Structure 1
Amino acid sequence: MSTGTRADAGVAGKPVAPARTALVTGASRGIGRAIAVGLTAAGLDVALLARDAARLQDVADEVTAAGGGRAVVVTADVTDAGAVAAAVAAAEAEIGGIDLLVNNAGRVDAEVPLWEADPDEWWAILETNVRGPFLLARTVVPGMIARGGGRVVDLNSGAGSHDMVGASAYNASKTALLRLGANLHRSGYDRGLRTFEVAPGVVQTDMTGSMVMHQGRTEWTPVERTVEMVVAIAGGGLDAFSGSFVRVTHDSPASLQAALDDAARDERVVPGPDGRRLRVTRWGDDDPMPGELPAR
């Protein structure tokens, strides 16, 4: 089994062809819709997945009017294993094997302390935000590997990399998703799988508009930054950052490419074994815990 050593040493690994097809979850509105439209504008054929067929058809009609790649509609609840399997099969029957999976579907819980959280709502958030990406990857990735490789993008969040107050299910789920993506990276890199955790910043959507922490906000992260990043990932130019967390409020395809260019000049490793990974922070130089934790 791969340990991820080659990837974490900054070695490029075998080349993976640019994506020709994609599946985007949560594609009926918000960030997912923008990503799907952006990918088809870049020439990819895209399967649009969500629960609302009518909304998805609106997106498909928009794509058809704009030209570019094709868009096909498949419906599923991402927490339902059978529905996910059927949706992926239907998508692949229409556009061929999926080269790029974008796990975008997500929910947020009430912004209350954990001890005030509703247990059923709390678990439902985990189901959508963690079980959903797990089921999609479990269904799509084997085909990617059989064809020589592919890419998975998880729409993550600052909630995956930072502590939060309230919304404990969202905080826990995005942290778990970050770890899930790292596991995919280590397990699949040598088999041609490239995995990315992309945080879109604070985009103005139905979800963020409902959150107390964003009430009164006037500055939002343009969704185009996320679209630009996902399109660049689809093209293969950012494969050196597989396994990494990127946040579009700070990163762009150009800035990441500049980091690679700098690394080539002074032989630094980008992103390296600890770069943009989830780690326990040492309390100082006298902390006996090593910088990199043991495997077990």
Structure 2
Amino acid sequence: MTAPRTGDQRLAGRTALVTGGGSGLGAVLTHALADTGARVVAVGRDEAALERTAAARPGAVLARQCDVSDPDSVAQLAGSLADEHIDILVNNAGVPGPVAPLTEVEPQDWDDVFAVNVRGVYLMCRTFAPGMTARSDGDILNIASVSGKRPLAGRTPYCASKAAVLGLTTTLAAELGPQGVRVNSLSPGPVDSARMRRNFTMEAERTGVTYEEAERRFVSRALLERMVTEEEVAEAAVAMIGLTGLCAADLDLSAGMVAR
């Protein structure tokens, strides 16, 4: 009797593309996918960071510079990957945006957040989904956020952009699911990372509290009273991609933040 294939084994030999793959969560996602035996294309704006990510998994990771918010840049990326079959697309690239009340957010700051967090997801899906539908197989995983589901004062552009990603995910799943392409989203809570440390610093400055208090107020909203790690998010991403029956789903990985 043949042993069933695990989710990780299902990824072996496939080609994945990870946006924002040069550093932080994107680099961890890239390495986690490479460790399953997948070939991974790490995409981002920082060429040096991408090369460092690729060097950590020699032969398994290919670095490609691209601004996902720019249609011409995305088209050039697709051209450079014309000989690749992108089986898995992980839309991870994102910017945190300002930490300020809505009335103090400048229109350009708002547009900058949506350009990467929403327009970038749209452009990447629009570009690489056709190859998946042609093969009647593929996985798209959009990295959303619990911030797209519950209030987070002072973070309106970011929260609105992640709510848009959730809507994009379910609608695209309805369009592509019948053609064999699974589209899902993963919604982390606060991830213990440089980005969150930046946010805590800005929130402390805005509200006049200490950094420690700003962090405590945020983390206390989670039932486990901690942040999740980048490694936990990557583990969840690999597991979701490995589930062949998962489509139009969103997974909260927030240490219980949405539940409270």
User: What range describes the TM-score normalised by the shorter chain of this pair?
Assistant: 0.7 to 0.9
Q: Provide the aligned C-alpha RMSD in A.
A: 2.0
Q: What's the secondary structure of 1:210's corresponding residue?
A: helix
The one-letter code sitting in structure 2 at the alignment partner of 1:148 is S
Q: Secondary structure at the match of 2:234?
A: helix
CA change 1:249–1:172 in 2 (3 A) is: closer
**Aligned mate of 1:169, from 146, 157, 171:** 157
- SS of the residue corresponding to residue 211 of structure 1 reads helix
Query: Does the CA contact (< 8 Å) of 2:17 and 2:90 recur in 1?
Result: yes
Q: Shift of residue 233 of structure 1?
A: 2.6
1:131-210 to 2 correspondence within 5 Å? Answer: 131-210=119-198
Question: What is the deviation of 1:174?
Answer: 0.3
Q: Give the conservation status (yes or no) of the 8 Å contact 2:141–2:241.
A: no
Give, in whole Å, the separation in 2 of the partners of 1:78 and 1:208.
22
Cα offset for 1:24? 0.2
Q: Any idea what SS the aligned residue of 2:67 has? A: coil
Residues 122-149 of structure 1: CA distance to partner in whole angstroms, max 9, x if unpaired? Answer: 1110111000000000000000000112
Aligned mates of 2:141, 2:196 — CA distance in 1: 20
1:244 maps to what in 2? 249
Give the SS at the match of 2:62: strand
Q: CA deviation at 1:244?
A: 1.5
Q: What do the CA deviations read for 1:85-135 (whole angstroms, capped 9, x no partner)?
A: 211332343xx2101100001011222111111110111101110000000
Percent of residue pairs bearing the same amino acid type? 31
Find 2:57's aligned residue among 56, 63, 72.
63
Q: Contact conserved, 1:200 with 1:225, CA < 8 A, in 2?
A: no
Number of aligned residues? 228
SS in 1 for 2:56: helix
> Are the equivalent residues in 2 in contact too, given 1:74–1:91 (CA < 8 A)?
no
Displacement over 3 Å in runs of 4+? 212-215
The residue number in structure 1 matching 2:114 is: 126
- The alignment status of 1:25 with 2:19, answered yes or no, reads yes
Q: Distance in 2 between matches of 1:47 and 1:92?
A: 13
Preserved contact between residue 149 and residue 191 of structure 1 (Cα < 8 Å): yes
Say if 2:69 is the partner of 1:79. yes
From 80, 104, 107, the equivalent of 2:92 is 104
Match of 2:229 among 219, 222, 227: 222
Paired residues of 1:107 and 1:207 also in contact (CA < 8 A): no
Residue 125 of structure 1 aligns with an amino acid whose one-letter code is V
Query: Hey, what's the Cα distance between the residues in 2 that align with 1:114 and 1:241?
Result: 36
- Any conservation in 2 of the 1:154–1:181 contact (CA below 8 Å)? yes
Equivalent residue in structure 1 for 2:81, among 75, 91, 94? 91
Within 2, Cα distance between the matches of 1:90 and 1:168? 36
Residue ranges of structure 2 left out of the alignment (5+ in a row): 1-8, 205-210, 217-225
Unaligned runs of 5+ in 1: 1-16, 252-275, 277-296
Separation in structure 2 between the aligned mates of residue 164 and residue 58 of structure 1, nearest angstrom: 34
Partner residue, 1:262 = none
Give yes or no for contact 1:200–1:223 (8 Å, CA) kept in 2: no
Give TM-score scaled by structure 2 length.
Answer: 0.82
